[in-house]
Amino acid sequence: MAGELPFEQPLVELKQKIAELKRFGEEKNIDFTEEIARLEERYAKLAEEIYTNISPSQKMHLARHHQRPTTLDFIQHIFTDFIELHGDRLFGDDMAIVGGLARLNGVPVTVIGHQRGKDTKENIARFFGSPHPEGFRKALRLMQQADKFKRPIITFIDTKGAYPGNTAEERGQSEAIARNLRDMALLGVPVICVVIGEGGSGGALALGVGNRVLMLENAIYAAISPNGAASILWKDASRADQAAEAMKITAADLKAMDVIEEIIPEPQGGAHKDVEAAAANVKDALWRHLAELMLLSTDELREDRYGKFRKIGKFATYERV
């Protein structure tokens, strides 16, 4: 095991202790079975305690964990016959977004998602999962293609945000995001979005206008990254943890505000501890929601999606005197 986060340190230490005791027992031929069982019981209890009380900032670190499964990992575990399609037909092929055709339990679907890299080299090629306009335009092209062929659309959201670069601005970053928001509202097929890691700002939302928006238990979703918020609020980006606590970014927060429909459980300690189990949970949720949405007509699907977003927002109304 590697990549444990600071809040998991007590578990790491206990695990080491158990391993040492086992080794010592074997070396010296002493029977520690009882002690080991007791320690393992303690471990399970401690793990339960730590993992059921993960704070928003700890979730932020889990959502950004370098071993956390990416879009392509989920695609591999959930779908069959995946074939990746490329390019926006206007400028290029942005590797920060992947998309293509696949089957979910035999049903042909279009699947699209932000794609982070697994290592530095891949991350550079994929701009750390932060799309340029051509990425959003590729996504929209594939969505409109799905609409034409009446295929449901599944998107995976996992980005710090749209790429903040001069070339992105020149090619119309605002326009690309805005157009996705508008034209996703017009799709006549089921659209299900799953926030699998970090849902950062407009770059996340540009794949997020779905009939159903689901979130993995430890995923986060916000208008601005906690780092960005901290640097604006307190002129100190290192206070991201503090901002994360204030910003209501967790799946449970968003469910309470009716922004998302369902929280998908993760294996204990996070999706990266058992990718297969995490993917199985996602697949189960996708299939349930898809089965419901496939009963709706084109118009009903559009109205359902419009209604979902139309009602979001909280404000007061007062009488003027």
Partner 1 sequence: MFKDLFQKKKYATVPSASVHDDRPKREIPEGLMNKCPKCGTIQYHKELEKNLKVCSQCGHHLRLNALERIEMTLDEGRFFEYDSDIVSEDPLGFPDYPKKLKQQQAKSGLDEAVITGEGTIGGFPVVVAVMSFDFFTGSMGSVVGEKITRAIETAMQKQYPLIIFSTSGGARMQESILSLMQMAKTSAALAKLHEAGGLYISVFTDPTTGGVSASFAMLGDINLAEPGALVGFAGRIVIEQTIRQKLPDEFQTAEFNMKHGQLDLVVPRKDMRQTLIKLIDLHTVKGDVTHGG
Question: Using the 8-state DSSP alphabet, how is residue 211 labeled?
Answer: S
- Segment interacting with partner 1, rule: CB under 8 A, options 27-35, 43-51, 141-149, 248-256: 248-256
Return the number of the residue (166 or 297) whose C-beta is nearest partner 1: 166
CA torsion through residues 172, 174, 175, 181, sign: positive
Question: Using the 8-state DSSP alphabet, how is residue 303 labeled?
Answer: H
In sequence order, the β-bridge partners of residue 83 are 101
169 binds partner 1 (CB under 8 A): yes
Among positions 196-235, residues that touch partner 1 (CB under 8 A) are: 201-202, 205, 208-209, 221-224, 228-229, 232-233
Q: How many other C-beta atoms can be found within 10 angstroms of the C-beta atom of residue 103?
A: 14
User: Binding mask 249-268 vs partner 1 (x if CB under 8 A, - otherwise)?
Assistant: x---xx--x-x---------
162 binds partner 1 (CB under 8 A): yes
Tell the smallest beta-carbon distance from residue 265 to partner 1 (Å): 21
Q: How many other C-beta atoms can be found within 10 angstroms of the C-beta atom of residue 88?
A: 21
Residue 262 Cα distances to 173, 209, 216, 225, angstroms = 30, 15, 9, 22
Tell the smallest beta-carbon distance from residue 76 to partner 1 (Å): 29
- Interface residue with partner 1 among 13, 41, 170, 292 (CB under 8 A) is 170
Among positions 28-67, residues that touch partner 1 (CB under 8 A) are: none
Let me know: does 158 contact 198? Beta carbons within 8 Å: yes
Tell the smallest beta-carbon distance from residue 218 to partner 1 (Å): 16
State phi, psi for 225 to the nearest 5 degrees. Answer: -65, 145
Return the number of the residue (259 or 280) whose C-beta is nearest partner 1: 259
Let me know: does 243 contact 237? Beta carbons within 8 Å: no
Tell the smallest beta-carbon distance from residue 248 to partner 1 (Å): 5
Return the number of the residue (73 or 198) whose C-beta is nearest partner 1: 198
Q: Are strands 97-104 and 80-84 parallel, antiparallel or unpaired?
A: antiparallel
Return the number of the residue (254 or 290) whose C-beta is nearest partner 1: 254
Tell the smallest beta-carbon distance from residue 13 to partner 1 (Å): 35
- Segment interacting with partner 1, rule: CB under 8 A, options 44-52, 61-69, 182-190, 276-284: 182-190
Lookup: tokens for 159: 């980005």
- Segment interacting with partner 1, rule: CB under 8 A, options 52-60, 69-77, 245-253, 278-286: 245-253
How many residues sit close enough to partner 1 to count as binding (CB under 8 A)? Answer: 55
Tell the smallest beta-carbon distance from residue 164 to partner 1 (Å): 4
Tell the smallest beta-carbon distance from residue 5 to partner 1 (Å): 23
Burial class (CB in 10 A: 0-12, 13-18, 19+), 23: exposed
Lookup: tokens for 217: 């238990």
The C-alpha atoms of residue 64 and residue 209 are separated, in whole angstroms, by 22
> Long-range pairs for 299-304 at CB < 8 Å and ≥24 separation?
299/188, 301/187, 301/188, 301/189, 301/190, 301/191, 301/211, 302/185, 302/186, 302/187, 302/188, 304/211
306 binds partner 1 (CB under 8 A): yes
195 binds partner 1 (CB under 8 A): no
DSSP letters along 251-266, please?
HHHHHHTTS-SEEEP-
Q: Strand, coil or helix: what is 223?
A: coil
Contact residues toward partner 1 (CB under 8 A) are 162-166, 168-175, 177-179, 181-183, 185-186, 201-202, 205, 208-209, 221-224, 228-229, 232-233, 246-249, 253-254, 257, 259, 305-306, 309-310, 312-320
